[in-house]
Amino acid sequence: MMIIMKPRSTQEQLDEVIVAVEASGLTPHVIVGVEHTVIGAVGDGYLVPTETFEFLDGVESVKRITQPYKLASRQFHPEDSVFPLDGFTVGAGEIAVIAGPCSVESRSQLLETAHAIREAGANALRGGVFKPRTSPYSFQGLGEKGLEYLVEAREQTGMPIVAEIMSEAQLDVMLRYVDVLQVGARNMQNFNLLRAIGKTRLPVLLKRGLSATIDELLMSAEYILAGGNERVMLCERGIRTFETTTRNTTDINAIPVLKSLTHLPVILDPSHSTGYFEFVTAIARAAVAAGADGLIVEVHPNPAEALSDGRQSLKPEKFAEMVSQVKEIARVMGRELAPIHVSAA
Amino acid sequence: MMIIMKPRSTQEQLDEVIVAVEASGLTPHVIVGVEHTVIGAVGDGYLVPTETFEFLDGVESVKRITQPYKLASRQFHPEDSVFPLDGFTVGAGEIAVIAGPCSVESRSQLLETAHAIREAGANALRGGVFKPRTSPYSFQGLGEKGLEYLVEAREQTGMPIVAEIMSEAQLDVMLRYVDVLQVGARNMQNFNLLRAIGKTRLPVLLKRGLSATIDELLMSAEYILAGGNERVMLCERGIRTFETTTRNTTDINAIPVLKSLTHLPVILDPSHSTGYFEFVTAIARAAVAAGADGLIVEVHPNPAEALSDGRQSLKPEKFAEMVSQVKEIARVMGRELAPIHVSAA
Amino acid sequence: MMIIMKPRSTQEQLDEVIVAVEASGLTPHVIVGVEHTVIGAVGDGYLVPTETFEFLDGVESVKRITQPYKLASRQFHPEDSVFPLDGFTVGAGEIAVIAGPCSVESRSQLLETAHAIREAGANALRGGVFKPRTSPYSFQGLGEKGLEYLVEAREQTGMPIVAEIMSEAQLDVMLRYVDVLQVGARNMQNFNLLRAIGKTRLPVLLKRGLSATIDELLMSAEYILAGGNERVMLCERGIRTFETTTRNTTDINAIPVLKSLTHLPVILDPSHSTGYFEFVTAIARAAVAAGADGLIVEVHPNPAEALSDGRQSLKPEKFAEMVSQVKEIARVMGRELAPIHVSAA
Amino acid sequence: MMIIMKPRSTQEQLDEVIVAVEASGLTPHVIVGVEHTVIGAVGDGYLVPTETFEFLDGVESVKRITQPYKLASRQFHPEDSVFPLDGFTVGAGEIAVIAGPCSVESRSQLLETAHAIREAGANALRGGVFKPRTSPYSFQGLGEKGLEYLVEAREQTGMPIVAEIMSEAQLDVMLRYVDVLQVGARNMQNFNLLRAIGKTRLPVLLKRGLSATIDELLMSAEYILAGGNERVMLCERGIRTFETTTRNTTDINAIPVLKSLTHLPVILDPSHSTGYFEFVTAIARAAVAAGADGLIVEVHPNPAEALSDGRQSLKPEKFAEMVSQVKEIARVMGRELAPIHVSAA
């Protein structure tokens, strides 16, 4: 950590900072500059918040040199994290293609979609049963009934199932049904939820918040990892910017940046990151070309009747086209789509 | 709602849209333009999501004319909402000044702060006991012990107490202690929490999310109002932009915009919206000049030792200066600071 | 255009709007809604600014249905624009790879770079001679001397040359030397410059401004097209967001969005859109996978000695790797890199 | 400047950085940390770009400690800059109120507006004659004829006149007519224009770009100051964010931040920073309460007929109300509105 003193700070103020640095278990090194004196605080600083020094008299600002996370960092874990996901592995050569409807709306809708995406090449099924909706007047999901349909779809297709958890109160019921817990963008900093999930051993798909920095995403992953749950996938799903022709702005840079900072697998959600089905396939290809380890895509057999997010859902035949294009890009990247689950009916 | 068809859409597609509009209980009116045909869907549309039409074949986009919220709207409730808050009223002529430490750190820290801010002119006490922290390694709050200290401070000073709730699991304990529930920026779209709070009758301070639009803030208020809890205060606390000299960007426009759109009281948090104590007083003055109904400000007797957010906390003497300046601005606005609670010791 | 009246607007106000619509050469169609009356103004509306109606009494807002540009629109020009660029074509099957140093710094630096990139597979040479620098104390470019070096590099390698123009005062000198005029992000709305360029017939590489919307980029292209110069390439170079791990955020969505809205070729600049050479190759692959028609990339033989933007420049050997990876992605897309100029020495 | 080495950088790489630091006239101080070695480069670093070190092998990043500008910095010029503006002073106790139409549209429109605003309390007249318009099909301004009308208005009212310059080619004609040159948001980084203006001695109103940081605004001021022209006023006019209920987001924080960083006067433009006349007065009050030295406001006698920006223009009677409210806020701040020019007819 570098602590920058104000231009006209006093020797006494400097001495107090030095005492505080030592009290934090760090070793101070002073550099006297023309305008500013800078104290380098050397040691294992990721546990020491910058606030420890920011408000001391005479301090102008504190800049962190090391990352504020450790378990999520590639520095302490240079190899890619790879973990099995019911029939394939995430984080290595295989590209995960998770697909399904935004919301589970009915048994027939889900089963029809599940079979269609499996045939098209998906290797996991997603479906929302508790839905975070901006409006209290919108469809809020089928709840546990939806989980039962997901399990039935898993039995029929062999694909592991992914569903979003919105509250730690839903953890018990989710644990009884799903294979992967999804934490949505709006809950990326629901720290109670993250801590609760950290105590489980279920794989987690952690979505980046609408305006979360990459560092904040990694800090949220750190919450889960610190609980002992090491199976975290990170998901870029678009950030909020001034641009309005798309629902969000796909931060494609986040893919190579995350791959350089962390060992965790990185997934892209081109449905939310664009908001329009017309652009999903192009961005899915781009994601894999940029180095993503997987995709999560909304598919609906009849998007016009979708109770949520129909505008960004692919029809099964469009999804099949997407998969075949992504497969070719994956091959250029020396990767392949994860195989369809062998135990499937 | 206006449904805009694509340039080369067919008569059949138009007919299907008309059927869907009627099925939603709305009346269609067709305008044939040079490039685009537009269908006006007339009726009580705030309950109909735009998604209902967005994905129909031939539809280019759907634009909402009416607001997607109703209970929060000034259109349906033209007079300002005014409600009592233990000794004063919020939303009318009196300006609420809520102050206190970011975190309750100890009994003595809290009591010292409470007496100091009361003397300086605050009329409510805030203090965090469950802290949403970006890092799992940071101080996470004193929990229920902190609530006990807050109650003791209320007994000594007469000021109502405000504390942040992070999860619906904390609702029972919070109801036993606090006078105002604060919903933090990161939980503005924690819909389970909003629904749970909607069932109580406790006043709520609902903070705008870091990248939430004003419409989204009002939709979150609508969740609480729809549950029957009408005592919602909205709080602008800065939004995330590209600017880095301050922690956030105070969206001062939000004050007159909210006052025009909704009848709910509007509060500003200049501590979080700037992030540096040096700028808090100037922005507090600006808020009241722009028409805010109150302020919530972080005060710490010794910010250098604060376990969180010390950088943006005012010392009690600086806070007293802020209050006296704000009082003068309030007078120009034809308002006054809410009086100090009469029952105070 | 749809003109939305305020909830309690009067018949007189409505009548005035109708008169104004007719005066603009449009035909009014009135829809009386529950809260709002809406007037559809039908006709060739792209020449009528929304301001014409926005301030009339009783008007709440005006929403444009048709795009505010015409010459740039794919609607009026469904086929891709394709134009020759000294040895290859832009906008069709061939991918343009424009490369070179941020600034022309010396004759030897430029010639060395030019030969290296040509060997690696570039088909055009870029180099800045007038440099827009944030600081008045930074290197501002070699000016006309730099143009002479560029011409010498063209003679030796056969590659057409691209250089940035900063002011209409530089137009005459630029016309004497360069093959493609680059308009930088900071000048995207320098309308005097755009108009001046519109009168020439030189191909233009128009970069998107740091916070320009896609619509604004197309309106700036419209300025050039309206002057009669049809050879405009659009360039996404990253937008400014809250994320700080990269210099800018590559708006990869802009590629398929632009391809759907306009017939003009779309180029991506992964050097500026990331700001770090480590991420350039991944984003270059992503761009071509998303459908870009070309790339513009900074290459420097010795980035450590670059007078500008060294942090984002590729060394020639890294650039050669990038080209070979991009070539494979292009093949999947049914495209190929534009051939190296045949007349080259 | 602090140069942070990568975790596994070598001694040789460190030695090269040390040589480069010394070659830049700075003195290196090395701190060996647990993961990172940091080199403090001590000396007068504002002239040395960070790029000098960023690309050296083994360097992870370079952080600037001192500001990259000097002439604009309060550190080197602690007292507020105050300069006369034809009848009053800018930057001291008096609040400048500059008003007028967005565009000069006709002689009668301008003269009517000028008299009305003077009566209402304005002390300078603004009016655009060269208009930067997003669309090539919009009204582009009256040019020199508009300047003649402005001069006539000055003769009749005694108020100094402010007009926007869009290109260095317009400098000669502007110098013949105007009292203050306005540089618009889109030209904040038109460095050729800034340099040309730096050579004049005319007061300048420099508007912040739509997505310019505060540091970039100060660097643009530095361009003008470095040319010897010390009469620069900075103008906050709203930044571009994700919020869409207003045209821009007023960065009210920028006022106290700028007042702390620079000695130059700070003006706010509430017309552009909100985009809707309904919110202009509230934000004008807020600006003065936050410490602004002046306002620039759009006024139009008949906004419904304005050829540009009618939606954000105040009618003269609304402007008079605004002035009287601002006057009261100014009094609380210990300031007063600048007096109306004595030489006026």
Q: How confident is the model at residue A309 (pLDDT cuts 50, 70, 90)?
A: low
pLDDT attached to residue A335 = 95
pLDDT at A216: 95
| D99 closest CA partner among D153, D145, D142, D146 | D153
Q: Give DSSP secondary structure letters for A252-266.
A: TTHHHHHHHHBSS-E
Angle between helices D277-290 and B277-290 (to 10 degrees): 140
Stretch D291-300: mean pLDDT, rounded?
96
Residue A78 sits at the chain D interface (C-beta within 8 Å): no
CB neighbours (10 Å) of residue D147? 22
Q: Tens of pLDDT along D26-36?
A: 899 888 887 78
- Minimum mean pLDDT range among B299-303, D82-86, D260-264: B299-303
Model pLDDT for residues D104-115, shown as the tens digit of each residue: 999 999 999 999
Per-chain mean pLDDT for chain D: 91
Q: Is A286 in Cβ contact with C287 (below 8 Å)?
A: yes
Chains touching B (3+ CB pairs < 8 Å)? A, C, D
List the subunits that have 3+ CB pairs under 8 angstroms with D: A, B, C
Which sign does the torsion angle of CA A8, A14, A17, A18 carry?
positive
Please give the helix or strand (H or E) that residue C267 lies within, else none. strand C266-268
Residue B252 has its nearest CB partner, among D261, D283, D329, at D283
Contacts of B331 (CB under 8 A, 6+ apart): none
User: Which one of C253, C261, C332 would you mutate to disrupt binding with A, by most A Cβ within 10 Å of its Cβ?
Assistant: C253
Q: Is residue A24 over pLDDT 90?
A: no
pLDDT at D88: 86
Q: Band of the pLDDT at D192, cuts 50, 70, 90?
A: very high
Q: Is D245 close to B214, i.e. CB distance below 8 A?
A: yes
Average pLDDT of the residues of chain B? 91
CA distance B75 to chain C (A): 9
Residue D131 pLDDT greater than 90, yes or no = no
As a whole number of angstroms, the distance between CA C247 and CA C102 comes to: 15
Min Cα separation D260/chain C (Å): 21
Confidence of residue B67 (pLDDT cuts 50, 70, 90): confident
Contact D191 C216 (CB under 8 A): no
Residues of B within 8 A of A195 (CB-CB) are 136
Q: How many other β-carbons are positioned within 10 Å of the β-carbon of residue A211? A: 21
pLDDT at D138 over 80: no
Q: Which residue, A138, A159, A153, A174, is CA-closest to A106?
A: A153
Q: State the pLDDT at residue A306.
A: 67
pLDDT over 50 (residue D175)? yes
- For residue C65, which residues of chain B lie inside 8 Å, CB to CB? 4, 33, 35-36, 38
- What contacts D214, CB < 8 A, 6 or more positions away? B243, B245, D208, D254, D257, D258, D261
Does residue C284 or residue B311 have the better pLDDT? C284
- What CA–CA distance (Å, rounded) separates C14 from D77? 57
Beta-bridged to residue B249, according to DSSP, are: B239
Q: Tell me: pLDDT of D344 over 60.
A: no
CA separation for the pair D100, D113 (Å, rounded): 6
Pairing mode, if any, of strands D27-32 and D37-42?
antiparallel
Q: How confident is the model at residue D59 (pLDDT cuts 50, 70, 90)?
A: confident
pLDDT band of B177, cuts 50, 70, 90: very high
* Backbone phi and psi for residue B277, each to the nearest 5 degrees, phi listed first: -60, -30
- A15–B contact, CB cutoff 8 A: no
Interstrand relation of A161-165 and A180-183 (parallel, antiparallel or unpaired): parallel
A249 beta partners: A239
Quick one: average pLDDT of A104-132? 93
pLDDT of residue D277: 92
- Pick from B311, B313, B312, B208: which is nearest to B251 by CA? B208
Asked whether the predicted pLDDT for residue A126 surpasses 60, the reply is: yes
Distance from C-alpha of D136 to C-alpha of D133, rounded to nearest angstrom: 7
- Residue B64 in this model has a pLDDT that exceeds 90: no
**Contact criterion met (CB < 8 Å) for C47 and D137:** yes
Is residue A245 less than 8 Å (CB to CB) from chain C?
yes
pLDDT, residue B237, reads 97
So what's the pLDDT on residue D269? 98
Chain A residues within an 8 Å CB radius of D2: 2, 38, 63
How confident is the model at residue B343, as a pLDDT? Answer: 47
Rounded to a whole number, what is the distance in angstroms from the first to the last CA of chain B?
A: 57
pLDDT at position B341 is 55
Question: What is the pLDDT, as a whole number, of residue D343?
Answer: 47
Q: Which of C12, C48, C55 to mutate to test the interface with D (most CBs of D within 10 A)?
A: C55
Rounded CA separation C156/B314 (Å):
66
Give the pLDDT confidence score for residue C305 in this predicted structure. 67
Q: Is the pLDDT of residue D69 over 50?
A: yes
Chain B residues within an 8 Å CB radius of D254:
243
CB distance from D324 to chain B under 8 Å?
no
Question: What are the structural domains of chain C?
Answer: 2-63 (3.30.70.1140), 83-332 (3.20.20.70)
The predicted-structure confidence for A287-305, as pLDDT tens digits, reads as follows 999 999 999 999 988 776 6
At C33 the pLDDT is: 81
Q: Residue D287 in contact with residue B286, Cβ under 8 Å?
A: yes
**Residue closest to C251 by CA, chosen among C201, C300, C208:** C208
Mutate to test the interface with D, among B74, B210, B243, B261 (most CBs of D within 10 A): B243
Q: Taking CB atoms and an 8 Å cutoff, what residues of chain D touch A44?
A: 34
CB contact under 8 A, A213 and C251: no
**Residues lower than pLDDT 50 in chain C:** 342-345
Structure token digits, residue C16: 């005035």
Within 10 A of B103 (CB to CB), how many other CB atoms are there? 26
Residue C131 is predicted with a pLDDT of 78
Q: Is C34 on the interface with B (CB under 8 A)?
A: yes
Strands (E), chain D: 2-5, 27-32, 37-42, 59-63, 83-84, 89-90, 94-100, 124-126, 161-165, 180-183, 204-207, 232-236, 266-268, 294-298, 336-337
CA distances, C254 to each of A189, A248, A277 (Å) = 29, 11, 14
Yes or no: say if C162 and C98 are a contact pair by the CB < 8 Å rule: yes
d(CA A246, CA A240): 10
Predicted local confidence at residue B308, as pLDDT: 67
Please report residues of C whose CB lies closer than 8 A to that of D69.
135
pTM score, whole prediction: 0.91
Judged by average pLDDT, the poorest of B63-67, C270-274, D206-210 is B63-67
Q: Which of A4-8, A261-265, C51-55 has the lowest mean pLDDT?
A: C51-55
D135/C69 Cβ within 8 A: yes
Q: Which chains touch A (3 or more CB pairs under 8 A)?
A: B, C, D
Confidence of residue D307 (pLDDT cuts 50, 70, 90): low
pLDDT of the residue at D341: 55
ipTM: 0.91
The helix (run of H) or strand (run of E) holding residue A63 is strand A59-63
C127 min Cα distance to partner chain A (Å): 25
Residues of chain A with C-beta less than 8 angstroms from the C-beta of B240: 211
Distance CA C98, CA C284 (A): 12
The token pair that represents B222 in the structure block: 């609508």
Smallest Cβ distance to D49: which of C135, C168, C216? Answer: C135
Query: pLDDT tens-digit profile of A97-115?
Result: 999 998 999 999 999 999 9
Task: Say if strands A27-32 and D266-268 run parallel, antiparallel, or are unpaired.
Answer: unpaired
| Cβ <8 Å between D132 and C189 | yes
Residue numbers in B near D257 (CB within 8 A) = 245-246, 279
Residues C257/C214, Cβ–Cβ less than 8 Å: yes
B154 has a pLDDT exceeding 80:
yes
Write out chain D residues lying below 8 Å of A247, CB-based.
none
